[in-house]
Structure 1
Amino acid sequence: MDISALKFLPISEPLPRFFTSYLILYLVAYFLIFRRWSPKLRPEAASCAISLAHGTPAVFLAWRAILSDAARDFHSPNTPLQNVVLDYSIAYFLMDLLHYLIFYPTDILFIGHHLATLFVFLTCRYVAYHGAFAILVLLILAEVTSLCQNVWTLASARKSDVEFAAKVYDFLSPPFYALYSLVRGFLGPYFVYRMFGFYLSGAADNVIPKWMWISWVFVVFMAISVSILWISNLWIELYRERKKLVEKKVR
């Protein structure tokens, strides 16, 4: 199956509606909810707002879509509900990609991440029509930390000038880091290992082209690797901060 066929496929009706909803929420967050924040912080805060709207709901929607499919497997056909969840996430990543292109065009890491993620979702949804089970499990693993991460990010942005934000940041950091490490460092790699083993057996080659599932595995592997590096650096930073506090108390 040729990826060029993607341009001839009709975009599903929910996708533009989801995108419009994220766009409206982003504008409301930027111009109303966070209007008193500095211009430097408002784009990031608005991005967190749409991430909050996407992350936790996507986990529950994906979980429901998986459980409602009795024939779920790594190469099973996408169900209508699974396609809706994919559209829901595609719309979010398109909106957040637009955010980065406008406000942070030099942030190649996040732009590349969003483009790669969109490639996986779009090919699963509009080219292969199979494999949503695997992609939605990965979506759950990626977004289960979303609520905590976005609150932590917002608190981190204001911790230097708002005492309450500093307290929230300090309180959330250890449990957030622990949860993120568990999901990205253990559960994610284990599922990718099972996913890779299944596709490598050739069981899905008749419905998911080899180049496609190899691309999926590669994108997920790279995303997990970057996540592990990111959370490792945060653990190191936290250790240094706590060490300094202990040294000050001793003095």
Structure 2
Amino acid sequence: MGTQQSPILSSLPPLPILFSFFLTVYLIAYFLVFRSWSPKIRPEASSCLISLAHGTPAVFFSSFAILSDPSTGFAAPNTRLQNSVLDFSVAYFLMDLLHYLLFFPGDVLFIGHHLATLFVFLTCRYVASRGAFAVLTLLILAEVTSLCQNVWTLANARRRDVEFAAKVYDFLSPPFYVLYSIVRGFVGPCFVYRMCAFYASGAAEGLIPRWVWVSWIVVVMSAISVSIMWISNLWVELYRDRSGKLEKKVT
């Protein structure tokens, strides 16, 4: 018997329509929502808006797609809904990759990150047709901080010329750093360990090509390592900033 999907959310639109959606959101952000912002930060702000349109919905879509499949497992066949959620994220990362290629072609780290992420989604969706449980769980862990991170990023972009933005940035920084540190520094590595143990045991032999799951592990571990370095640097900056403000008050 096949798995039962909710009639309300059995699938998402095809990839071209999803890409058109993110392109439309980006253009609206760039030419309408942030039209009064400095040309230097309008592209980044527009990228944040499409990230907001992707991040939190991706968490809910992925969670539903995983929970609606009773045969969920690291090597289980992808369901129709799981494939649709993968397409949803592929559309977003393609749009954001185009953004970086147009406005920040020298940002090799982010371009490489997006290419590697697209590789994982595309091989899971179109090559292996299995393993969506693992990939979508990783997507949840990556995007669960998206709302907070994008608001924090927008506030950071305007904090030097807008007092309210500075207050939002100062207020959000500690809780955002804590949440990000827990997800990327503890929960993520624990899940990747489970993922490694499963695939290394040979349980997916003959189901998912070895080069596919090995590449997934390499990409994910690299991404987590970069994330940990990034948040560590932010903690150091926050400490220095708060220490400097405290010293000024004392003197």
Q: TM-score, normalised by structure 2?
A: 0.95
Q: Which segments of 5 or more consecutive residues in structure 2 lack a partner in the other structure? A: 1-11
Letter of the aligned partner of 1:158 in structure 2? R
Give the number of aligned pairs.
Answer: 240
Counterpart Cα distance in 1 of 2:245 and 2:92: 40
- 1:59-138 aligned at under 5 Å gives the runs 59-138=59-138
Counterpart Cα distance in 2 of 1:38 and 1:143: 27
Task: Tell whether the 8 Å contact from 2:55 to 2:147 is kept in structure 1 after alignment.
Answer: yes
Task: Name 1:41's counterpart in structure 2.
Answer: 41
Task: Name 1:246's counterpart in structure 2.
Answer: 246
Q: Which segments of 5 or more consecutive residues in structure 1 lack a partner in the other structure? A: 1-11
Task: Name 1:26's counterpart in structure 2.
Answer: 26
Counterpart Cα distance in 2 of 1:186 and 1:58: 21
Cα displacement string for residues 179-209 of structure 1 (whole angstroms, at most 9, x for unaligned residues): 0000000000000000000000011021111
Alpha-carbon offset, residue 138 of structure 1: 0.1
Cα displacement string for residues 188-244 of structure 1 (whole angstroms, at most 9, x for unaligned residues): 000000000000001102111111100000000000000000000000000000000
Counterpart Cα distance in 2 of 1:132 and 1:116: 16
Letter of the aligned partner of 2:233 in structure 1? N
Counterpart Cα distance in 2 of 1:196 and 1:128: 17
Task: Name 2:170's counterpart in structure 1.
Answer: 170
Letter of the aligned partner of 2:202 in structure 1? G
Task: Tell whether the 8 Å contact from 2:13 to 2:84 is kept in structure 1 after alignment.
Answer: no
Task: Tell whether the 8 Å contact from 2:52 to 2:146 is kept in structure 1 after alignment.
Answer: yes
Task: Name 2:140's counterpart in structure 1.
Answer: 140
Alpha-carbon offset, residue 13 of structure 1: 6.2
Counterpart Cα distance in 1 of 2:121 and 2:72: 17
Task: Tell whether the 8 Å contact from 2:58 to 2:85 is kept in structure 1 after alignment.
Answer: yes
Counterpart Cα distance in 2 of 1:190 and 1:236: 25
Counterpart Cα distance in 2 of 1:207 and 1:73: 12
Counterpart Cα distance in 1 of 2:13 and 2:236: 46
Letter of the aligned partner of 2:33 in structure 1? I
Counterpart Cα distance in 2 of 1:208 and 1:91: 24
Counterpart Cα distance in 1 of 2:208 and 2:27: 38
Task: Name 1:4's counterpart in structure 2.
Answer: none
The answer to whether residue 168 in structure 2 is matched with residue 161 in structure 1 is: no
Letter of the aligned partner of 1:53 in structure 2? A
Counterpart Cα distance in 1 of 2:127 and 2:16: 18
The answer to whether residue 48 in structure 2 is matched with residue 14 in structure 1 is: no
